[in-house]
């Protein structure tokens, strides 16, 4: 048959995309590994152009993240908010509710925790104070997440724009607090006072106990998604609102409940950052975590265990990029570029896991 098909094939399109039906996990991990290696090679070229040895730069990146106790603590401290925010966001994403308002929810959580931490530390002993801060952050973040869900359920508003705009509102509110009512007494430039040392989160094995909470949340959210009725409802709503209605699920209620949880987890991150890491609130309290967490959640395909791995990986890249900035005097922008290259390859390779490209004149092979 091949003899007389030449004429047609000569005029075939150069490349065609074909969807794969199934791929073995071995093969998909092979593709990911190849993508990672390619990203290192591409990044290596950039490093070479900057006049450094790629291998020693990469080694210093790894050492910068895992080389000593101090840097390990720092890496874990970056991973904690990423992981919890990613879990929070995945609640919404699982029902195809595009909550990109993690930043704002973190900020309002921090502010709510700050309201107690900064102004009632002299009234309450540490334990009730910390619990109060947690509760306040959860409620504030939850309500901030609930708002777009209520509007979507009632009027069909677009949650992407809605949550995005709420980020800016939260940020502006913090600026207002810094310049006005919460401005630290005696400070010449706008900033919020520091949390008194007695109210700061206790360290366990060198890092505040947020990491234990994060690990508990990984397991708890996995169980919630896969074993509970509410998790099942999220999955049904995410696949099709019509099917959910048909099944007798109150779609609006699931939106509201799930977005409250989603926002509450992000709010909790705000409290952990405030009371466990920064000890104050600034415009940088969320620091892009709400957006990076989206990458974490997608790379992990909404699987909480996957998010644990990915968030630690990204924390490592961030720490590593700090290290190479100081050690090799590589500019911050170039270090960010390296991270960008690695993430680009890791996200991009998912395409090759779902699709195959067939070149001109190539036959399709079947397993």
Partner 1 sequence: MSEGAAYAVKMHHVTKTFGKVTANKDVNLELRTGEILALLGENGSGKTTLMNMLSGIYFPDHGEIYVKGEEVTIRSPKDSFALGIGMIHQHFKLVDVLTAAENIVLGLGGKVTVNRREINKKVAELAQKYGFELDPSKKVYNMSVSEKQTVEILKVLYKGADILILDEPTAVLTPQETERLFNVLRNMKKDGKSIIIITHKLNEVLAISDRVAILRKGEYIGVVNTAETNQAQLTEMMVGRPISLEIDRPQAERGEKRLQVIDLTCLNGDGVKALDNVSFEAYGGEILGIAGIAGSGQRELCETIAGLYPSIGGSVLYSGDHDGVPVQERILGLKPDEIVKKGISMAFVPEDRLGMGLVAGMNMTDNVMLRSYKANKGIFVDRKAPRELAEKLIGELEIVTPGVDTPVGRLSGGNVQKVLLGREIACQPSVLIVAYPVRGLDINSSYRIYDLLNEQKKKGVAVIFIGEDLDVLMQLSDRIMVMCGGKVSGIVDPRKVTKEDIGLMMIHAEGSQSVSEDKEVTA
- Return the number of the residue (21 or 69) whose C-beta is nearest partner 1: 21
- Return the number of the residue (255 or 328) whose C-beta is nearest partner 1: 255
Distance CA 216, CA 194 (A): 29
Q: Give the pair of three-digit tokens for residue 360.
A: 């001109």
Helix (H) or strand (E) holding 13: none
- Return the number of the residue (127 or 367) whose C-beta is nearest partner 1: 367
- Dihedral angle sign, alpha carbons of residues 293, 143, 235, 355: negative
- Return the number of the residue (56 or 228) whose C-beta is nearest partner 1: 228
CB of 109 to partner 1, least distance (A): 25
Distance CA 189, CA 232 (A): 50
Distance CA 95, CA 149 (A): 12
CB of 97 to partner 1, least distance (A): 16
CB of 222 to partner 1, least distance (A): 13
Q: Give the pair of three-digit tokens for residue 273.
A: 């950052």
SS3 assignment, position 356: strand
- Return the number of the residue (49 or 367) whose C-beta is nearest partner 1: 367
Nearest to 31 by CA among 356, 305, 337: 356
Distance CA 19, CA 357 (A): 9
DSSP annotation of 51: T
Q: Which residues bind partner 1 (CB under 8 A)?
A: 1, 4-5, 7-8, 11-13, 16, 18-21, 227-232, 235-236, 239-240, 242-243, 245-250, 363-364, 366-367
Neighbouring CB atoms inside 10 A of 46's CB total: 16
Distance CA 54, CA 141 (A): 42
Exposure letters 159-170 (e unless 16+ CB within 10 A, then b): beebbbebbeeb
Distance CA 37, CA 345 (A): 9
Residue where the block lists tokens 């959210």: 221
- Return the number of the residue (108 or 249) whose C-beta is nearest partner 1: 249
Helix (H) or strand (E) holding 250: none
SS3 assignment, position 24: coil
- Return the number of the residue (239 or 283) whose C-beta is nearest partner 1: 239
CB of 234 to partner 1, least distance (A): 12
- Return the number of the residue (66 or 246) whose C-beta is nearest partner 1: 246
Q: Give the pair of three-digit tokens for residue 366.
A: 């079947």
CB of 21 to partner 1, least distance (A): 4
CB of 22 to partner 1, least distance (A): 8
- Return the number of the residue (73 or 232) whose C-beta is nearest partner 1: 232
Neighbouring CB atoms inside 10 A of 213's CB total: 19
């Amino acid at each position: 048959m091949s003899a007389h098909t030449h004429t047609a094939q000569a005029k075939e399109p150069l490349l065609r995309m074909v969807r794969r039906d199934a791929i073995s996990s071995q093969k998909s991990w092979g593709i990911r590994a190849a993508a990672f290696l390619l990203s290192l090679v591409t990044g290596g070229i950039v490093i070479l152009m900057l006049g450094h040895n790629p291998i020693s730069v990469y080694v210093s990146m790894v050492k910068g993240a895992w080389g000593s106790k101090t840097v390990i603590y720092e890496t874990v401290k970056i991973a904690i908010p990423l992981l919890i925010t990613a879990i929070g966001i995945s609640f919404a994403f699982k029902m195809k509710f595009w909550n990109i308002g993690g930043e704002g929810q973190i900020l309002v959580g921090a502010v709510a925790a700050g309201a107690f931490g900064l102004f009632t530390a002299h009234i309450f002993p540490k334990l009730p104070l910390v619990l109060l801060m947690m509760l306040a952050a959860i409620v504030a973040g939850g309500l901030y997440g609930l708002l777009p869900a209520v509007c979507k359920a009632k009027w069909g508003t677009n949650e992407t724009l809605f949550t995005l705009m709420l980020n800016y509102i939260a940020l502006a509110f913090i600026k207002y607090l810094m310049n006005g009512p919460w401005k630290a007494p005696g400070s010449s430039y706008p900033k919020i006072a520091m949390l008194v040392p007695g109210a700061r989160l206790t360290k366990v094995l060198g890092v505040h106990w947020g990491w234990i909470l994060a690990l508990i949340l990984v397991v708890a959210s996995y169980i919630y998604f896969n074993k509970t009725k509410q998790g099942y409802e999220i999955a049904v709503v995410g696949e099709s609102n019509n099917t959910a209605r048909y099944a007798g699920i109150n779609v609006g209620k699931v939106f509201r409940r799930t977005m409250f949880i989603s926002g509450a987890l992000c709010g909790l991150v705000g409290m952990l950052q405030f009371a466990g890491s920064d000890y104050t609130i600034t415009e940088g309290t969320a620091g892009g975590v709400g957006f990076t967490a989206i990458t974490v959640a997608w790379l992990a395909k909404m699987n909480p265990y996957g998010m644990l791995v990915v968030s630690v990986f990204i924390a490592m890249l961030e720490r590593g990029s700090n290290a190479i900035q100081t050690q090799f005097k590589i500019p911050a922008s170039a270090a960010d570029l390296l991270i960008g290259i690695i993430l680009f390859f890791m996200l991009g390779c998912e395409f090759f896991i779902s699709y195959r490209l067939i070149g001109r004149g190539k036959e399709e092979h079947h397993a």
